[in-house]
Structure 1
Amino acid sequence: MDETTFQSLHATVLAAAFAVSAVFGALAQRTHFCTMGAISDVVNMGDTVRLRMWAMAIGVAMIGFHLLAAAGLVDPTQTIYWSGRVIWASALLGGALFGFGMVLGSGCGSKTLVRLGGGSLKALVVFFVMGFAAYATLRGITAVLRDRTVDRLAFDLQPGSPLPAWLAQQFGWAPSSTALVLGVGVGAALVVWAAVHPDFRASGNAWLGGLGIGATVAAMWAVSGWLGFVPEHPQTLEPVYVATQSGRMEALTFTAPMAYTLDWLIYYSDANKVLTLGVVSVLGVVAGAAAMALATRTFRWEGFAGTRDTALHIVGALCMGVGGVTAMGCTIGQGLSGVSTLSLTSVLALVGIVLGALAGFRFQLWLLERD
């Protein structure tokens, strides 16, 4: 592949990533897909429809990822979720901090971008603060703290943290067959569990959100891992995943990409700062949500109710930025993309996010009772 063809492929991958993320944003806006909202509905109303929508999205993403792998279109070992080191403390504590923060900040990272597209100035503040905190935890003062504390509490799981790989090694099974059976089996079970509830079956939005959001996660795996894979870079002559920040196959995730989006905007004139899959995903979600909000006449300007509302959102954004990077992903990065690979670290991060969200709801209740 010559340099001109490589640059053309780079642009194609970015355009495809933007399109997929725009569809994600439009679907999330239309269906009210929200992890925090799903947990809140269960806790406060006993309503499981959005939780089932979330479960169906995980199931569809899981089936899609493992079918892509079985077809040889993507290499599961080339994701950040394949690492044999399980950072259990970072996943649990970072996830809990993120979950707590998303309650205070009126939604997770993806919901923040969707709300921003819908006209929320509160979400704009959360975006900037969350991106700043995420960047500090990637490369700044909280990165040093993270590296010297929770990241050191880990254990090795060979040949990798995804459960199918570990099970295949333990029982002498074929790794590829184990991954396909387990991935499709667990994914199908989640889809069936979501669909059996009559309230879910009666909701068109629930079906659209569950199937559509899950499909966008699988589609991004294909964009990055299949369309964007080049066996031989024209300059380095090494395999490369085009337009990725990590150099590996990536899917939808939003905490670190928010930080890189701010970095790209601030240093735009620096030729070394180029668009990546993560940055265009952030921009795509906002664009898709804005288009849907305008099309459905739900676009509304929204501001803070007062000083305490502002303070809570700022604290929540800080928690999400620090927690999301510490856990190596948010409700989408770990809760959907990571869990779709059946990574143990991703499962632990998701558990932490749910526990943190429950603590956040308790804190909000305490504030109401105190008032």
Structure 2
Amino acid sequence: MTISSPSATVTQRLPDQGVVWLAGGALFLGALVLTDIISLRMASLFLIGGLMGAALFHASFGFTGGWRRFVEDKRGVAIRAQLAMVALAALVFFPLLAQGEAFGQPLVGALAPVGVSVVVGASLFGLGMQLGGGCGSGTLFTVGGGSVRMLVTLAFFIIGALGGTAHLPYWLSLPALEPISLGASLGVPLGLGLTLAGLAAIAAITLLIERRAHGNVEPIGAPLPQKGKLLTGPWPLLFAALALAVLNVLTLIIAGHPWSITAGFGLWGAKIASAFGVSVADWEFWTWPGQARALQNSVLADTTSVMDFGIILGAALAAGLAGKFAPKVDLRLGSLIAAVLGGLMMGYGARLSFGCNIGALFSGIASGSVHGWVWMICAFAGSVLGIRLRPLFFGRGASK
């Protein structure tokens, strides 16, 4: 799942009408059902998830391939797009979170403790995403795009996340600092300024390394897709970054908290395990008020789960519109083992570190949480190790 600027020479394909009708119909009917049995608010978040899935697919906007391309090829355009996305969201998050509410909706940021669990979990996640072939968002949008192998990654992602819920109380007993919000502790101007400066510094480092390696840098892309490409793609990375930042802001305003992905996986695992007679409700994690309520209620009442479903369907719709929905089956033993191990590591690591590249890095840093920065550093370090281990599973020179 390599992220790069979509080529202008991509051959135009005809939309897959069957996929378009199926995915589009599912999004439409899903929104109607959610409006009827849950709320218009939940239906809105479901459709926002659909738009996120479309943006992710049309720009091939994930973290796994972009980080790998920087490590292996010294090309950092994808990382700069990710940094731009975080910066754009932070510009709105900081003042909104300082205000504490929007249109009567209380707002909370993606804040978490900084401790052993984040360091271990993020490192494990970074390693796992290079073996599994995608991060949290990347796994969902590639599943929506028809990747059968990524279904394996997702299945074991869910299992790993469930295991993480069993062990999280222990990890939280280890040394950690209380959640640190740059906006709350330093004030919005200084906290936001430091956040933007940090993001700009990382972008500058990627530019320096890329220019030294190649004598030039790849452009991040136009702010808008080419004429007629809005529905069918491909989208420039910068446009996708802007779209995802806006959609995360909408998520914050409507849901009351930023975009997250992997919390839903742990809930799905708990629901499935409970259906098979496992006493998940007795685990300490699932006795906590919010978790107990989520386990007791329908999965359709869980914001993260509903948005995850929307991402998959939105990516499927985008794939159909682009004529790129093509289920791929990779039955090579090494690839399947990597999918299993990667999924387990990502699920477990995400639970320990309070999220993935979206919930911890994107939403965390945009919220001013210091844990988001620690997560990014540790996940990148783990990712470098994962890149070194990939040839053991995919062979020399293999890329996904």
TM-score computed with the length of structure 2 as normaliser: 0.72
Amino acid of the residue matched to residue 61 of structure 1?
Answer: A
The Cα shift of 1:272 comes to: 3.3
**Structure 2 counterparts to residues 64-213 of structure 1, below 5 A:** 64-69=92-97, 73-74=101-102, 78-81=108-111, 86-138=113-165, 140=166, 143=167, 146-149=168-171, 151-156=173-178, 160-166=179-185, 168=186, 175-176=187-188, 178-179=190-191, 199-201=219-221, 204=225, 205-213=236-244
The Cα shift of 1:87 comes to: 3.1
Deviates more, 1:128-137 or 1:310-319: 128-137
Residue aligning to 2:231: none
Residue aligning to 1:4: none
CA distance in 2, matches of 1:9, 1:352: 41
CA distance in 1, matches of 2:274, 2:180: 36
2:339 matches 1:313: yes
Amino acid of the residue matched to residue 169 of structure 2?
Answer: D
Aligned residue among 30, 51, 61 for 2:79: 51
Residue aligning to 2:8: none
Residue aligning to 2:305: 279
- 1:259 to 1:70, Cα distance in 2 relative to 1, 3 A: closer
Question: Are 1:253 and 1:333, in contact at CA under 8 Å, matched by a contact in 2?
Answer: yes
Question: Are 2:52 and 2:311, in contact at CA under 8 Å, matched by a contact in 1?
Answer: yes
Question: Are 1:91 and 1:346, in contact at CA under 8 Å, matched by a contact in 2?
Answer: no
Cα-to-partner distance string for 1:42-62 (whole Å, 9 max, x where unaligned): 122222111111111111111
Cα-to-partner distance string for 1:262-306 (whole Å, 9 max, x where unaligned): 5457779x9733421011011010010000000000111111231
Question: Are 2:50 and 2:313, in contact at CA under 8 Å, matched by a contact in 1?
Answer: yes
Question: Are 1:90 and 1:151, in contact at CA under 8 Å, matched by a contact in 2?
Answer: no
CA distance in 2, matches of 1:165, 1:76: 16
CA distance in 2, matches of 1:77, 1:223: 9
Aligned residue among 363, 372, 382 for 1:346: 372
CA distance in 2, matches of 1:222, 1:184: 22
Question: Are 2:161 and 2:269, in contact at CA under 8 Å, matched by a contact in 1?
Answer: no
TM-score computed with the length of structure 1 as normaliser: 0.77
- 1:151 to 1:284, Cα distance in 2 relative to 1, 3 A: farther
CA distance in 1, matches of 2:47, 2:340: 30
CA distance in 2, matches of 1:369, 1:50: 23
The Cα shift of 1:115 comes to: 0.7
Question: Are 1:56 and 1:194, in contact at CA under 8 Å, matched by a contact in 2?
Answer: no
Aligned residues: 322
Cα-to-partner distance string for 1:240-281 (whole Å, 9 max, x where unaligned): xxxxxxxxxx3222112122235457779x973342101101
Flag structure 1 segments of 5+ consecutive residues without an equivalent.
1-6, 169-174, 226-249
The Cα shift of 1:180 comes to: 5.6
CA distance in 2, matches of 1:127, 1:31: 21
- 1:317 to 1:256, Cα distance in 2 relative to 1, 3 A: same
Aligned residue among 237, 243, 266 for 1:259: 266
Question: Are 1:194 and 1:200, in contact at CA under 8 Å, matched by a contact in 2?
Answer: no
CA distance in 2, matches of 1:262, 1:277: 16
Question: Are 2:251 and 2:258, in contact at CA under 8 Å, matched by a contact in 1?
Answer: yes
CA distance in 2, matches of 1:183, 1:46: 24
Residue aligning to 1:39: 67
Residue aligning to 2:211: none
Q: Identity of aligned pairs, percent?
A: 23
Aligned residue among 339, 356, 360 for 1:330: 356
SS of the residue aligned with 1:329?
coil
Flag structure 2 segments of 5+ consecutive residues without an equivalent.
1-34, 209-216, 226-235, 276-294
- 1:119 to 1:274, Cα distance in 2 relative to 1, 3 A: closer
CA distance in 2, matches of 1:200, 1:271: 45
CA distance in 1, matches of 2:139, 2:242: 21
Amino acid of the residue matched to residue 273 of structure 1?
Answer: S
